[in-house]
C-alpha cells in the first residue's frame, strides 16, 4: 500500500520539506511507502484528506516569528472529522539562490514578504542597494533565474537542490530561532501514522465558538483548564466570518484527551461553548534538517 500525502505545493515549499521528512520517518518506522501530492493551497491539501483523495496532509500551524497560520485553522474548523496524528517542529533556514557569479552581480531579490522580512538585516548588510520584490511564494519566482542573471531569490535549501540552482549564501535569516510547527492530519484516528506512543500523547488541540459576548465566555473557558491544572500552550482567536467582533478560539492543551482532568474540563467547557471541536491528541517531534 502506498500512502498519498497532500501538502502545499509546488515542490520546494517548506511544507513539502516537512512532508518529505515525514515520508522518511514513516518508511523507517513502519515500512510504509508514501508519495507527495502538491496542492495549490493549504485548504485544498486538507480538503483532499477530508474527501479521501489523500490519506494524510502535512500543514503548517505556527511559525515562531510570524505566528499562527490562519488558513490552517479556518480549514480545520470548516472541514469536519479531521484528526491530528503528530506535530513536527522544523527549523526554517533561508538560502539565497541566483545565477549571478557573486553578490555584486545582483540587482533584484525576489521572495515571499515573510521571507524578505525575516532576512531584512542580512539584506541591508550584504545587498544594501538591491531592490526587494515581494512574490506570492518562495518558489514561484525561481523560474525568473534562468533568464535574468541579475535576479536572486530567497528560498529553501530543498528548492535550490530540486531545481539545481546555485546557492550564493546560506542561513541568511536574521533570527536563528526561526522554526515552524506542522501538523500531520488524517481523516480518522490511525495509530500507524503517529510514529510515536499513543499511550502518552503530550498535546491536545481543540476549538470552540462562544454564544454571546466574548470576554465572559473566554475567561470562563480558560478558567476551566486553569482550575484543573491543565497548561495551555497556545490560545488564538479567529473571526467567525459572521460579523466583526465575533470570534472562535483555538486552544492547544499540554495534556492527553483521555486523561480524567481533560475529560472533566471538556465536559465543563461544553456548558460555555456554542460549538466545540476536538482535533486530536498527539506528540511533538523535532525535525533535524541539515
Binding footprint of a second copy on the chain (CB under 8 A): 41, 62-67, 70, 89, 113, 134-136, 175, 177, 179, 181, 213-216, 218-219, 222-223, 225-226, 230-239, 241-245, 247
Nearer to a second copy by C-beta: 161 or 213?
213
Residue 167 beta carbon to a second copy: minimum distance, rounded to whole angstroms: 25
Per-residue cell: 77:
474548523
Nearer to a second copy, 166 or 239 (CB): 239
Cell matching residue 212: 454571546
- Nearest-angstrom CA–CA distance, 282 and 147: 46
DSSP letter at 123 equals H
Cβ distance to a second copy smaller for residue 3 or 224: 224
Angle between helix axes 214-227 and 260-272 (nearest 10 degrees) is: 160
Of 41 and 190, CB closest to a second copy: 41
Would you say the C-alpha torsion 259, 265, 270, 271 has a positive or negative sign? positive
Residue 78 CB, nearest distance to a second copy (Å)?
Answer: 12
Q: To the nearest whole angstrom, how small is the minimum distance from the Cβ of residue 218 to a second copy?
A: 6
d(CA 144, CA 150): 10
Looking at the Cβ atoms of 32 and 218, the one nearer to a second copy is 218
Determine whether 240 is exposed, middle or buried from the number of CB atoms within 10 Å of its CB (0-12, 13-18, 19+).
middle
Q: Tell the smallest beta-carbon distance from residue 189 to a second copy (Å).
A: 26
What is the distance between the alpha carbons of residues 62 and 58, in angstroms, rounded to a whole number?
Answer: 13
- In angstroms, give the least distance from the CB of 190 to a second copy: 26
Amino acid at each position: 500500500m502506498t500512502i498519498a500525502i497532500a501538502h502545499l505545493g509546488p515542490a520546494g515549499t517548506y511544507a513539502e520539506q516537512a512532508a518529505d521528512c515525514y515520508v522518511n520517518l514513516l518508511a523507517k518506522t513502519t515500512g510504509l511507502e508514501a508519495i507527495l501530492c502538491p496542492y495549490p493551497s493549504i485548504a485544498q491539501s486538507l480538503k483532499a484528506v477530508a474527501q479521501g483523495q489523500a490519506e494524510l496532509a502535512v500543514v503548517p500551524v505556527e511559525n515562531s516569528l510570524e505566528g499562527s497560520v490562519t488558513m490552517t485553522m479556518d480549514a480545520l474548523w470548516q472541514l469536519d472529522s479531521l484528526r491530528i496524528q503528530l506535530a513536527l517542529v522544523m527549523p526554517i533556514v533561508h538560502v539565497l539562490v541566483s545565477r549571478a557569479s557573486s553578490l555584486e552581480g545582483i540587482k533584484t531579490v525576489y521572495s515571499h514578504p515573510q521571507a524578505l522580512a525575516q532576512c531584512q538585516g542580512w539584506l541591508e548588510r550584504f545587498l544594501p542597494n538591491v531592490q526587494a520584490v515581494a512574490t506570492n511564494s518562495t518558489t514561484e519566482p525561481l523560474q525568473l533565474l534562468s533568464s535574468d542573471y541579475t535576479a536572486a531569490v530567497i528560498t529553501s535549501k530543498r528548492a535550490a537542490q530540486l531545481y539545481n540552482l546555485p546557492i550564493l549564501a546560506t542561513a541568511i535569516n536574521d533570527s536563528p530561532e526561526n522554526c515552524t510547527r506542522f501538523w500531520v492530519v488524517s481523516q480518522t484516528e490511525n495509530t500507524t501514522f503517529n510514529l510515536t506512543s499513543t499511550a502518552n500523547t503530550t498535546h491536545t488541540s481543540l476549538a470552540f465558538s462562544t454564544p454571546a459576548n466574548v470576554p465572559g465566555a473566554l475567561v470562563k473557558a480558560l478558567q476551566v483548564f486553569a482550575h484543573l491544572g491543565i497548561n495551555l500552550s497556545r490560545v488564538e482567536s479567529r473571526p467567525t466570518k459572521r460579523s466583526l467582533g465575533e470570534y472562535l478560539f483555538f486552544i492547544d492543551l499540554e495534556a492527553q484527551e483521555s486523561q480524567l482532568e481533560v475529560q472533566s474540563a471538556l465536559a465543563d467547557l461544553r456548558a460555555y461553548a456554542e460549538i466545540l471541536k476536538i482535533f486530536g491528541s498527539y506528540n511533538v517531534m523535532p525535525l533535524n534538517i541539515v
